[in-house]
Structure 1
């Protein structure tokens, strides 16, 4: 079996990493940029920390701040029009998963116009040309969009999310600056942090996992496990650790896929506009328990890196339960809603949502194959 690893060209880590944006821009001989972000990050002076640097250096740029949470097909089309009108040579994507995901879709369409309908980008595609260059600046500690070959768009007409997988969409440079993440409110830090934990755990146990990605995912679980609570408490050092942990998880899952948590989370976001991180976090402990008998010794490994006492000597059944309990406790400690009814999910919608989850591109990677009926039961158990 041949395993493939794809990573981005260059990344900068640590406080002040954004100061390398202008040198990277100039060394690549770009003349004009367009900043892709959302109105909230402009309003709260987060994105302006980057645009101030561009202003000081005399960099020519425009701003497209129309990105919305759970970005839609129309959102991407509007962004493509803005980028084309700007005459920019590169994009500077500032934000969580949404702005970076939109930038990926825009960048692919600009250089591969045959995908202008956006919907044809679903699943693994073989585009001919690398996307328009993206310099990515994450502002949340969870999605790892700056290092992955994946992005997610919402089909607003059919109320579904679809995952796009394309090695040509990966940003050329990432600036993982923990100070850009200090503006996250506690609830967002919790949700995106649990999304990072979900990436790491699902990447570890997915059917495509192998030794190199296992190494990355276990390290990510260790880092997120020890720092998420303090990150939610707004401690800078913990935010910096979370920035690294979520990135390491992205290095892994981008190359081996995810599982049923993401498969079930995507339709929740599409149907009810629930933030992706919140949806994943609410589902993770329950789906972990569903999978536990299909994971070999990997839950013992999870328990070990989470410093569960006696993880090495307890029975495999107890080790699996201990790993599930540790994640359940972490989720509760950071304030994740324990039921999906709290998120607005309606019982009468569950059969249709389960059908969407069953067809989601992430679900087949789950270590335990799930039927539609089993997915319905999982959703119902969380009501």
Structure 2
């Protein structure tokens, strides 16, 4: 067994109705004024106001930055940082999916250390602790509340840059399953498959360890056993709890084991064509699972058992059975089959492949992958 290290330096609060504990966590952070980073969709649904009401009744001042869009940009980070600094806020509440959390983490860096987020691109360039963040996920998908990554689009390069530092981990993660029980079915589906892929790629990653395996296996058990019923009925409290817990465990798994080709290749798809991250991942998954089968050493069968509706013991398992099962799952959830269905065109494949190869996830993929391999995989997914 190879050497490995891990830590879980956060306070994680889970429970139906636990949103009401937000003032308690702000008090622990020593903050009397918070900035909510979220989006207009959650504002229209009344979710943002619900959060503001909870803290304002406790005498805590608030300011909001709600202009977050999918695949957030460097300009959004700069605008949010300006609001944070000028308001005098002393903590950030990241409310939403991965996009608000990515921005909140970037703001936490720039508010403390200045400069542009592009200066922190790469690994371990954040010099120390950032502004305190309380992460409140409203989707069961990204796991950003427990990960050390911020992914921001640099529109000048059509490139999704990644800042990786354990300093980015939110101080608190507040997981209330009620927050995901009103999402639309396609959001539930694409985010749920994204969470499954986080666990899946961490489990097959060259960086996997017994710790990350434990997190990944529990995540796949919870998500694989509940994603169909959750998409069918988001009011199913038991399924919602399982999905939110599974997403969190998947996030911890890949925070310590990295990911693989799926995520390396999905980021350029989103950067060039604006495809939602979970959808891009879901479309790429069957193609890359088939490609990685050559490197499998028994883990495909375990994954199959987690996601298959058939709970009978498998006889004579073959990797193609897993490929067929994930295609079946995608289809049942309404995930598009090909990249062309979501607007991706072949002319951008060479540049997307170049950008995908810049990802550190390529090195963690179980099967060695070259630039030509990536181009081939894109064309197969097209």
- TM-score for the superposition, normalised by structure 2: 0.95
Cα offset, 1:313, TM superposition: 4.3
Q: In structure 2, what is the equivalent of residue 159 of structure 1?
A: 158
Q: In structure 1, what is the equivalent of residue 35 of structure 2?
A: 34
Mapped to 1, the partners of 2:237 and 2:311 lie a distance apart of 28
Cα offset, 1:52, TM superposition: 1.4
Cα offset, 1:310, TM superposition: 5.9
CA 351–28 in structure 1, closer or farther in 2 if over 3 Å, else same: closer
Mapped to 2, the partners of 1:153 and 1:306 lie a distance apart of 31
Cα offset, 1:309, TM superposition: 5.2
Q: In structure 1, what is the equivalent of residue 316 of structure 2?
A: 314
Q: In structure 2, what is the equivalent of residue 98 of structure 1?
A: 99
Mapped to 2, the partners of 1:263 and 1:281 lie a distance apart of 13
1:349 lines up with 2:348 in the alignment? yes
Query: Which structure 1 residue ranges, 5 or more long, are not aligned?
Result: none
Within 5 A, what are the aligned runs for 1:160-239?
A: 160-233=159-232, 234=234, 235-239=236-240
Cα offset, 1:189, TM superposition: 0.6
Cα offset, 1:127, TM superposition: 2.2
Equivalenced residue count is: 378
Q: In structure 2, what is the equivalent of residue 261 of structure 1?
A: 262
8 Å CA contact retained: 1:100, 1:145: yes
Within 5 A, what are the aligned runs for 1:1-383?
A: 1-113=2-114, 116-233=115-232, 234=234, 235-306=236-307, 308=310, 311=313, 313-315=315-317, 318=318, 320-383=319-382
Mapped to 2, the partners of 1:333 and 1:353 lie a distance apart of 29
Mapped to 1, the partners of 2:307 and 2:259 lie a distance apart of 21
Mapped to 1, the partners of 2:265 and 2:40 lie a distance apart of 29
Cα offset, 1:361, TM superposition: 2.5
Cα offset, 1:312, TM superposition: 5.5
8 Å CA contact retained: 1:264, 1:357: yes
- TM-score for the superposition, normalised by structure 1: 0.95
Cα offset, 1:222, TM superposition: 1.2
8 Å CA contact retained: 1:224, 1:241: yes
8 Å CA contact retained: 2:6, 2:211: no
Mapped to 1, the partners of 2:45 and 2:109 lie a distance apart of 29
Runs of 4+ in 1 over 4 A off after TM superposition: 307-313
Q: Alpha carbon RMSD of aligned pairs, Å?
A: 1.4
> Aligned to 1:314, what secondary structure does the other structure show?
coil
8 Å CA contact retained: 2:92, 2:134: yes
Mapped to 1, the partners of 2:122 and 2:4 lie a distance apart of 19
CA 180–167 in structure 1, closer or farther in 2 if over 3 Å, else same: same
Cα offset, 1:329, TM superposition: 1.5
CA 8–333 in structure 1, closer or farther in 2 if over 3 Å, else same: farther
Cα offset, 1:2, TM superposition: 3.5
Mapped to 2, the partners of 1:111 and 1:48 lie a distance apart of 27
Mapped to 1, the partners of 2:272 and 2:55 lie a distance apart of 38
Cα offset, 1:274, TM superposition: 0.7
Cα offset, 1:240, TM superposition: 1.7
1:291-323 superposed Cα distances (whole Å, 9 cap, x missing partner): 0121211112112333555656425xx1x2222
> Aligned to 1:299, what secondary structure does the other structure show?
helix
Mapped to 1, the partners of 2:58 and 2:71 lie a distance apart of 33
1:54-107 superposed Cα distances (whole Å, 9 cap, x missing partner): 122221111111211101111111111111001011011101000011000110
8 Å CA contact retained: 1:303, 1:311: no
8 Å CA contact retained: 1:8, 1:147: no
8 Å CA contact retained: 1:67, 1:75: yes
